[in-house]
Structure 1
Amino acid sequence: MLIQGKLLSGQDDLAEVYRIRRKVLIDEVKLPEQEVFDEFDNKAIHVLVYEGMEKEKAVATGRIMIDGTRCCMGLIAVLKEARGKEYGDFAVRMLLAKAFQAGIKTVYLKTKKEKSKFFQRFGFRDIEEDSSSILKMVLREEWYSTGCRKKNR
């Protein structure tokens, strides 16, 4: 199985990004539309993750918003039929690589408590509970786990 990704700016065609978000975040997760589509899309850097060699099917998306030295990640979504195949992992890694390449040292996000373990595997740490079900998390560049480092023996 080949996984490919593509970074998009807010000026690019975001139809596939919006399709995945609608299917996952609105239809499935039941988030309000105003939380899924907002005025930040035209300023954000988006990722589309594809299944297959010819980029024939977009299966995951996410975005980062960089404002000076601050970066927020969010709206990570993977189609139901594509879960468990590392597409979400790939999307997050592409976005983190872009943030760190841009000189960002710290990335923030908000996620549901039950999704926090997914983000912890990259090195994200809990910093605050927003409500009974939402966590704020932070990742400093030096905490980032690429998954490729050898452990000292």
Structure 2
Amino acid sequence: MEIRNIEKELAWQLRHEVMWPEKDADYVKLPDDDKGRHYGLFAENQLISVVSLFIDGSDGQFRKFATRVSEQNKGYGSILLNHLLVEAQQAGIKRIFCNARREKSRFYEKFGLAATEEMFTKDGKEYIIMERVFA
């Protein structure tokens, strides 16, 4: 297993397959993808999980966290998210946050993220903003 920085185009492929397969491929692209750090977890040279980190001063946001459906619930996403959190701290980020699908919020709590009061709905899916402040 290996985690490495990847090009945004590679992240787009897995994002589309996992997150919004019913939408056009462009739907998973972010306007600021050129500014992000994109990470991929590979097992046996197959891309299993992706996440993108966007840094703005001392704040960081991770977005478009996706794990291949056939590989979910095997710990790959947890390994990748732990890696991202270490990278964020090393980059000097004091607060990290994400827009979590409401049904996935318990997953993020395991990594020290707490729900905020901010929520929204996008394409019929409910999201809650979750954050963690590094000491």
TM-score range, shorter chain: 0.7 to 0.9
Residue number in structure 1 paired with 2:134 = 141
Aligned partner of 1:73 among 55, 62, 65:
62
Out of 77, 85, 95, which is 1:106 matched to?
95
Q: Which amino acid aligns with 1:7?
A: N
Work out which of the two has the higher radius of gyration on C-alpha atoms and give 1 or 2.
1
Cα distance, 1:50 vs structure 2: 0.6
1:21 corresponding residue in structure 2: 15
What displacement does 1:16 show? Answer: 2.2
Structure 1 gaps of 5+ residues are: 143-153
Q: Give the structure with the higher percent strand.
A: 2
Q: Deviations over 1:19-64 (max 9, x none)?
A: 101101121xx56766520221100011100113xxx100110011
* Aligned mate of 1:130, from 119, 125, 134: 119
Q: Identity of paired residues, percent?
A: 23
**TM-score normalized with structure 2 length:** 0.88
Number of equivalences: 131
Off by >3 Å, runs of 4+ in structure 1: 30-35
| Distance (whole Å) between structure 1 residues aligned to residue 27 and residue 98 of structure 2 | 14
Gaps of 5+ in 2: none
> Normalising to structure 1: TM-score of the pair?
0.78
3-state secondary structure, aligned to 1:100: helix
Deviation at 1:80, TM superposition (A): 0.7
Change in Cα spacing, 1:135 to 1:70, as seen in structure 2 (3 Å) is same
- CA distance change for structure 1 residues 106 and 7 in 2, over 3 Å: closer, same or farther? same
* In 2: Cα distance, 1:35 partner to 1:111 partner: 18
In 1, Cα distance between equivalents of 2:13 and 2:85: 23
Task: Give the Cα–Cα distance (whole angstroms) in 1 for the partners of residues 98 and 111 of structure 2.
Answer: 13
